[in-house]
Amino acid sequence: MRNFPTAPNVHGSTNTGVVGVILAGGQSLRMGQDKSQILWQGRSLLEWVTERIAPQVDTLLISRAYGNPGTQDETPQQLADSAPDLGPLGGIAAALRWLPDYNPAPAWLLSCSCDAPLLPRQLVQRLQAEAASSASDVVYARCLGRAHYTHALWSSALLAPVEAYLAGGGRSLHGLLAQLNSRALDFDTADGLDPFTNLNTPADLYRLPPGWTPTP
C-alpha cells in the first residue's frame, strides 16, 4: 500500500471544520484489482483524489474494507469498516465514529469515492454553503441530473442514524438519504465532463482524451 508524503495538506491546516474521508474499501470487481491503486496519467486514482480533496479539509482519512486497517505509519490515516459487506456506508460510519477523536471536533464529514479523479476544487466550500443556507444535515452532489450520493457533506451528528440504518440491514446510500434531512446540490460540467465521473472498469480509463488534465 502506498504512502502519500507529497500530498498537500494531508494533516490539515484549513480550519474548515470538515474532515474528509476517501472511500476506498470497495471490492473493485469490475476493475479486477484495487482500483484506488490503478494508474491514470502516471498517478494512482487515490493520489488524484487526495490531491483534489486534501487542501479543502482539516485532515483526511482513507476508508478501507473490513480486516484491512492499513499500517500505523501510513498517511493519510487508514480506517477499516467495523464489519464486512457494509458498502460505502461502512466507511462513512467509521469516519463519523472517528470524528470525536479529532481536536477540535469537526462539525462536518466530507465523503468521496476513490475513483473520481476530477473532483471540484471548491467542493467543500459549495457543499458547506448549501448546508448552511438550506439547514440540511446532508448535502450531496448532482450533475447532469445524476445524483452522486458518495460525494456528500454529512453532519457529525448523524452517527446514530447511520449506525441504526446499518444495524437494520440497510446498505443503500439513496435509501438512507431519503430518511434524513438531505438535499442535492447541482454542479456544472467541467470542460464538458461530469466532475464526479468515476472509473469502474479498465475501459473507463480511456474515456478521457489522452493527456487531458482537469481544469484547476
In-domain check, residue 141: yes
Say whether pLDDT at 144 is over 90: yes
Can you tell me the distance from the alpha carbon of 54 to that of 60, in angstroms, rounded to the nearest whole number? 6
Question: Which CATH number is 164's domain given?
Answer: 3.90.550.10
Return the pLDDT at 216. Answer: 47
The answer to whether the Cα torsion of 6, 9, 187, 148 is positive or negative is positive
Q: What is the span of the domain harbouring residue 49?
A: 18-206
Q: Please give the single-letter amino acid code of residue 174.
A: H
Return the pLDDT at 6. Answer: 33
In-domain check, residue 214: no
Can you tell me the distance from the alpha carbon of 214 to that of 114, in angstroms, rounded to the nearest whole number? 16
In-domain check, residue 12: no
In-domain check, residue 213: no
| Helix ranges, the chain (H) | 45-53, 88-98, 123-134, 159-167, 173-179
Look at the pTM and tell me if it is higher than 0.75: yes
In-domain check, residue 202: yes
Instruction: Name the pLDDT band for 33 (thresholds 50, 70, 90).
Output: low
Nearest to 1 by CA among 72, 98, 106: 72
Can you tell me the distance from the alpha carbon of 141 to that of 128, in angstroms, rounded to the nearest whole number? 12
Return the pLDDT at 7. Answer: 38
In-domain check, residue 173: yes
In-domain check, residue 7: no
Q: Which residues pair with 78 in a beta bridge?
A: 62
pLDDT digits (tens, 9 = 90+) for 64-108: 887 665 544 456 788 988 888 899 999 999 999 999 989 888 999
In-domain check, residue 132: yes
